[in-house]
Chain A
Amino acid sequence: MTRLRRVRRWGPGLLLLTPSIILIAVFVYGLIGWNIKVSLSDWRTSVKSTHYAGFAAYKDLNSDPVWWSYNMRHLAVFTVAFIVGTLIVGWTLAFLLDKGVRGEGFFRAVYLFPMAISFIAAGIVWRWLMNPAPGDRTSGLNAIFDKLGLHALENQWYLGQNWGMAAMAMPAVWALSGYIMALFLAGFRGVPEELREAARMDGASEYRVYRHVVFPHLRPVTLSALIILGHISIKVFDLIVAIGGKQVITMVPAVYMWINIYDAHDYAKGAAIATLLLLGISILIVPYLIFTVRSERNA
């Protein structure tokens, strides 16, 4: 009897949520399942085919010259440059703003505004800025270095053979630093002022206060930031397409998947790439989600 009463209490909630539950079940988990199934099929042409083919598509991918030497290497370089760059800039901005400055609102607004711009629009500008044309046709950032006499800094930017993808990370750093700044700033300010004051009363220098009181507080925030940036990096698509189009020299998995499906009609291979992307993200996100929900429960 009491069970019925309990159901009467939470039943309506479940009912209200049901449409969303169904939608997510179908469009997230159902489609992921479908995707995995396709990746294991023999659908390699524009003619649909659904026979089980095991890991053939994955093996193809593994032996695809473009996969490891371009896609994965590019992704690795991009990811490192992006994460390191964004963390450093975001952290620095937060650190500078932490104690409060006049016009803080203005600065915050400036640093955050790139989040309002699409990667496509940003890509257009940054493509111009990173124009690799030499000599007479130098423009973009190279032109500035030229005028300032910093010839050594002029380079091929995103078309660079080995480190082009690090240059590609610049617009991404530009776009996301504001968000990371917001994360860190909230983290800095989440340290109760009393803690800092107590440390100062105990004779700690400002440097020590930061090192022993504030920074330890920032560990969870840094972890959040790492996870979020990592997952963005793995998924990066718009930006690469806007700047590098479909060129091999800027190829990343997300774009390669698009090419395989739309140009090559190799659905299984495309699905395999997508599945691998999903796997990569899951490794980052699943522990993070579990950790977040658990700590919420304990709080």
Chain B
Amino acid sequence: MSSLSQTPPIVAPVPRLRRRARSAPLARYALLLLFAVIVLIPVYVLVVTSFKGVLETDASHAWSLPHLWTTEAWSQAWTQLSPNLGNSFKLVIPATVISVVLGALNGFVLSKWKFPGADIVFTLFLFGMFIPYQAVMIPLTTLLEDVHFPAGIPRLAFAHIVYGIPITALIFRNYYATIPNDLMEAARMDRAGMLRTFWSVVLPISMPAFVVAAIWQFTSIWNDFLFAVFIITDPAKWPVTVALNNTTGSLVTPYNLQMSAALLASLPTLIVYVLLGRYFMRGLMAGALKG
């Protein structure tokens, strides 16, 4: 489970609180840049090492740029990890889609079509987000085995969908809370039932929440290690994060392969982050207080 999955984001369509960009004192810029550099050091290491040949990966050349830029580490990583990348995609895309849709429906009911005790139910859901998943791993695997749930990726997808219920419900519920109630009442007066109201009135304005929830789930599920390592026993079916740790992450693997493999495994989430990160950040920033 990535760090991402453990931190609750909130989405709210409030205007971004952005201060007027002013020229800040030099000291502040310097500090910010310093921090940025520190944060990016691991990226430097990853990129630089991944393009080195095996001969250059020893201690004496630790920090220098490659003398000879080569992609041999990359092609090795690709050979080793591409089946696992495939597994990850097969896992993440259906799981994210289902999880997000479920979250939208749940969030809608919990915020706008409440039944008596809805808030208590929501709190009980939320607690499920904080539990140490280790605590349920054994019974989970046993249970799935006992009911003959299709082994491999489907099982893992199912687990992620189930344990993704709390966080997706949280994201959508908090977002839908910002929709004025009289919109729901107007729909009621127009004779719309619950599903119709969801479909015609709420869903069309849910895009921000969908984006945040989708990015969140995509990243969490892609980066997950714990669930995958417990649930998937056949190494051929490992998602890329597990494969990364168990094959290319080991200490006997040359550094350039380790780094290229780590980068390769992180590429999809990085791409998602680069392309859609600003929407994600908007959500985090706007409502993060209620975390």
Contact = CB atoms under 8 A, between A and B. Distances in A.
Contacts of A234: 132
Q: Is the interface of A mostly helix, strand, loop or mixed?
A: helix
A116 B32 contact: no
Contact of A113 (B35, B136, B270, B291): B270
A213 interface: no
B32 A112 contact: no
B132 A235 contact: yes
Interface string A116-131: 1111111111101100
Contacts of A176: 3, 7
Interface string A15-40: 01100110110011111101100100
Interface in B1-52: 1-4, 6-8, 17-24, 28-29, 31-32, 35-36, 39-42, 45-46, 49
Interface in A213-238: 220-221, 224-225, 228, 231-232, 234-235, 237-238
Interface residues of B, number: 105
B205 interface: no
A252 to B, nearest CB: 11
Interface of B: 1-4, 6-8, 17-24, 28-29, 31-32, 35-36, 39-42, 45-46, 49, 59-60, 62-63, 102, 105-106, 109-110, 113-116, 118-119, 121-128, 130-140, 143, 162-163, 165-166, 169, 193-195, 219, 222-226, 241-242, 244-245, 249, 255, 258-259, 261-263, 265-266, 269-270, 272-273, 277-278, 281, 284-291
Contact of B123 (A122, A128, A289): A289
B245 A241 contact: yes
A237 B22 contact: no
Query: In this complex, which of B165, B169, B219 has the most chain A Cβ atoms within 10 angstroms of its Cβ?
Result: B165
A20 B169 contact: yes
A176 B291 CA distance: 14
Which 5 pairs from chain A and chain B are nearest by CB? A100-B19, A118-B223, A274-B135, A13-B113, A10-B115
